[in-house]
Amino acid sequence: MATFSAATTAEALVPYDRQKIWDVLVDPDLVARFTPFVKKIVEDGDHWRWSMSGLEVLGIGFAPVFSERMILTDLERIEFKHDPAQGQKERAGVNGWYALSEADGGTRLETSLDICASLPLPRLSSPAVTSAMKGVMATMGDRFSKNLLDHLSKQPKK
Protein backbone atom coordinates (compact mmCIF):
# COMPACT_ATOMS: atom_id res chain seq x y z
CA MET A 1 0.00 0.00 0.00
CA ALA A 2 1.42 3.38 -1.00
CA THR A 3 0.06 6.89 -0.52
CA PHE A 4 -0.27 9.10 -3.58
CA SER A 5 -1.18 12.77 -3.79
CA ALA A 6 -2.18 15.37 -6.33
CA ALA A 7 -2.94 19.05 -6.02
CA THR A 8 -4.81 21.63 -8.01
CA THR A 9 -5.70 25.30 -7.82
CA ALA A 10 -8.25 27.29 -9.76
CA GLU A 11 -9.58 30.82 -9.94
CA ALA A 12 -12.62 32.17 -11.76
CA LEU A 13 -14.81 35.22 -11.98
CA VAL A 14 -18.33 33.92 -11.38
CA PRO A 15 -20.96 36.41 -12.62
CA TYR A 16 -23.21 35.97 -9.58
CA ASP A 17 -23.65 37.39 -6.11
CA ARG A 18 -21.28 36.04 -3.46
CA GLN A 19 -24.17 35.02 -1.16
CA LYS A 20 -25.67 32.77 -3.84
CA ILE A 21 -22.33 31.05 -4.44
CA TRP A 22 -21.71 30.71 -0.70
CA ASP A 23 -25.12 29.13 -0.20
CA VAL A 24 -24.19 26.37 -2.65
CA LEU A 25 -20.69 25.77 -1.26
CA VAL A 26 -21.97 25.26 2.30
CA ASP A 27 -24.81 22.91 1.29
CA PRO A 28 -23.51 19.32 1.34
CA ASP A 29 -26.47 18.03 -0.66
CA LEU A 30 -25.88 20.50 -3.50
CA VAL A 31 -22.11 19.96 -3.47
CA ALA A 32 -22.68 16.20 -3.73
CA ARG A 33 -25.25 16.59 -6.49
CA PHE A 34 -23.03 18.93 -8.53
CA THR A 35 -19.79 16.94 -8.15
CA PRO A 36 -19.21 13.86 -10.29
CA PHE A 37 -18.07 10.68 -8.54
CA VAL A 38 -19.63 11.83 -5.23
CA LYS A 39 -22.44 9.55 -4.01
CA LYS A 40 -23.31 11.60 -0.94
CA ILE A 41 -22.03 13.97 1.70
CA VAL A 42 -23.36 13.69 5.25
CA GLU A 43 -23.03 16.69 7.54
CA ASP A 44 -22.24 15.96 11.19
CA GLY A 45 -21.63 19.20 13.08
CA ASP A 46 -18.53 20.82 11.63
CA HIS A 47 -17.57 17.64 9.74
CA TRP A 48 -18.66 16.45 6.31
CA ARG A 49 -18.36 12.74 5.53
CA TRP A 50 -17.87 12.18 1.80
CA SER A 51 -18.79 8.91 0.07
CA MET A 52 -17.39 8.58 -3.41
CA SER A 53 -18.64 6.30 -6.16
CA GLY A 54 -16.34 3.72 -7.65
CA LEU A 55 -13.23 5.22 -9.19
CA GLU A 56 -10.61 3.25 -11.04
CA VAL A 57 -6.91 4.04 -10.86
CA LEU A 58 -4.62 1.85 -12.97
CA GLY A 59 -7.13 -0.98 -12.85
CA ILE A 60 -7.64 -0.75 -9.08
CA GLY A 61 -11.23 -0.09 -8.00
CA PHE A 62 -11.54 2.51 -5.27
CA ALA A 63 -14.65 3.95 -3.53
CA PRO A 64 -13.25 6.12 -0.72
CA VAL A 65 -15.15 7.47 2.26
CA PHE A 66 -13.46 10.27 4.15
CA SER A 67 -14.18 12.96 6.76
CA GLU A 68 -13.43 16.65 6.43
CA ARG A 69 -13.55 19.25 9.19
CA MET A 70 -15.14 22.37 7.73
CA ILE A 71 -14.00 25.79 8.93
CA LEU A 72 -16.24 28.57 7.65
CA THR A 73 -15.51 32.29 7.60
CA ASP A 74 -18.90 33.64 6.55
CA LEU A 75 -19.04 34.65 2.88
CA GLU A 76 -15.23 34.74 2.62
CA ARG A 77 -13.52 31.40 3.10
CA ILE A 78 -14.17 27.70 3.53
CA GLU A 79 -11.30 25.55 4.74
CA PHE A 80 -11.50 21.79 4.87
CA LYS A 81 -9.04 19.50 6.59
CA HIS A 82 -8.96 15.74 6.53
CA ASP A 83 -10.05 14.77 10.04
CA PRO A 84 -11.17 11.17 10.53
CA ALA A 85 -12.92 10.23 13.75
CA GLN A 86 -10.61 9.09 16.54
CA GLY A 87 -9.43 5.55 15.90
CA GLN A 88 -10.70 5.55 12.30
CA LYS A 89 -8.39 5.04 9.34
CA GLU A 90 -9.41 6.40 5.97
CA ARG A 91 -7.69 5.61 2.68
CA ALA A 92 -8.27 9.06 1.20
CA GLY A 93 -8.59 12.65 2.29
CA VAL A 94 -8.54 16.24 1.10
CA ASN A 95 -7.08 19.43 2.49
CA GLY A 96 -7.88 22.74 0.88
CA TRP A 97 -9.94 25.88 0.75
CA TYR A 98 -12.35 28.07 -1.19
CA ALA A 99 -12.03 31.86 -1.06
CA LEU A 100 -14.72 34.26 -2.24
CA SER A 101 -14.27 37.99 -2.79
CA GLU A 102 -16.13 40.81 -4.50
CA ALA A 103 -15.03 41.53 -8.06
CA ASP A 104 -16.24 43.68 -10.92
CA GLY A 105 -18.97 41.69 -12.60
CA GLY A 106 -19.53 39.18 -9.82
CA THR A 107 -17.49 37.13 -7.37
CA ARG A 108 -13.90 35.94 -7.55
CA LEU A 109 -13.88 32.28 -6.53
CA GLU A 110 -10.53 30.66 -5.80
CA THR A 111 -9.86 27.11 -4.69
CA SER A 112 -6.95 24.93 -3.71
CA LEU A 113 -7.16 21.16 -3.17
CA ASP A 114 -4.56 18.63 -2.08
CA ILE A 115 -5.85 15.08 -2.31
CA CYS A 116 -4.16 11.95 -0.98
CA ALA A 117 -5.12 8.32 -1.43
CA SER A 118 -3.63 5.05 -0.23
CA LEU A 119 -3.78 2.39 -2.92
CA PRO A 120 -2.45 -1.16 -3.24
CA LEU A 121 0.04 -0.13 -5.91
CA PRO A 122 3.82 0.14 -5.88
CA ARG A 123 5.33 3.55 -5.13
CA LEU A 124 7.04 3.36 -8.53
CA SER A 125 3.65 3.83 -10.17
CA SER A 126 3.43 7.34 -8.69
CA PRO A 127 3.72 9.26 -12.01
CA ALA A 128 0.88 7.28 -13.59
CA VAL A 129 -1.30 7.41 -10.46
CA THR A 130 -0.74 11.15 -10.01
CA SER A 131 -1.63 11.73 -13.66
CA ALA A 132 -4.84 9.70 -13.27
CA MET A 133 -5.73 11.56 -10.06
CA LYS A 134 -5.23 14.92 -11.78
CA GLY A 135 -7.46 13.78 -14.65
CA VAL A 136 -10.24 12.82 -12.24
CA MET A 137 -9.82 16.12 -10.36
CA ALA A 138 -10.05 18.09 -13.64
CA THR A 139 -13.24 16.26 -14.62
CA MET A 140 -14.75 16.85 -11.18
CA GLY A 141 -13.84 20.54 -11.25
CA ASP A 142 -15.14 21.13 -14.78
CA ARG A 143 -18.45 19.40 -14.12
CA PHE A 144 -18.90 21.04 -10.71
CA SER A 145 -18.32 24.46 -12.32
CA LYS A 146 -20.84 23.77 -15.07
CA ASN A 147 -23.44 22.50 -12.59
CA LEU A 148 -22.84 25.49 -10.28
CA LEU A 149 -23.36 27.96 -13.13
CA ASP A 150 -26.46 26.10 -14.35
CA HIS A 151 -27.91 26.17 -10.83
CA LEU A 152 -27.13 29.85 -10.30
CA SER A 153 -28.65 30.81 -13.66
CA LYS A 154 -31.99 29.36 -12.49
CA GLN A 155 -32.06 31.27 -9.19
CA PRO A 156 -34.32 34.32 -8.89
CA LYS A 157 -32.59 37.67 -9.32
CA LYS A 158 -32.59 39.96 -6.30
Question: How many whole angstroms separate alpha carbon 137 and alpha carbon 67?
Answer: 18
Q: Tell me what pLDDT residue 52 has.
A: 96
Q: Is the pTM of this model over 0.85?
A: yes
DSSP-assigned states of every residue in 102-148: EETTEEEEEEEEEEEEEESS-GGGHHHHHHHHHHHHHHHHHHHHHHH
Q: Tell me what pLDDT residue 157 has.
A: 65
Sequence-ordered list of residues with C-beta below 8 angstroms from that of 103, at least 6 positions apart, any chain: 13
Secondary element (H or E) of residue 34: helix 28-34
- pLDDT tens, the chain, 158 aa long: 899 999 999 999 999 999 999 999 999 999 999 999 999 999 999 999 999 998 888 888 889 999 999 999 999 999 999 999 999 999 999 999 999 999 999 999 999 999 999 999 999 999 999 999 999 999 999 999 999 999 999 988 65
Q: Tell me what pLDDT residue 54 has.
A: 85
Q: Tell me what pLDDT residue 57 has.
A: 82
- Domains, the chain, with CATH or none: 2-153 (3.30.530.20)
Q: Tell me what pLDDT residue 113 has.
A: 97
Amino acid at 22: W
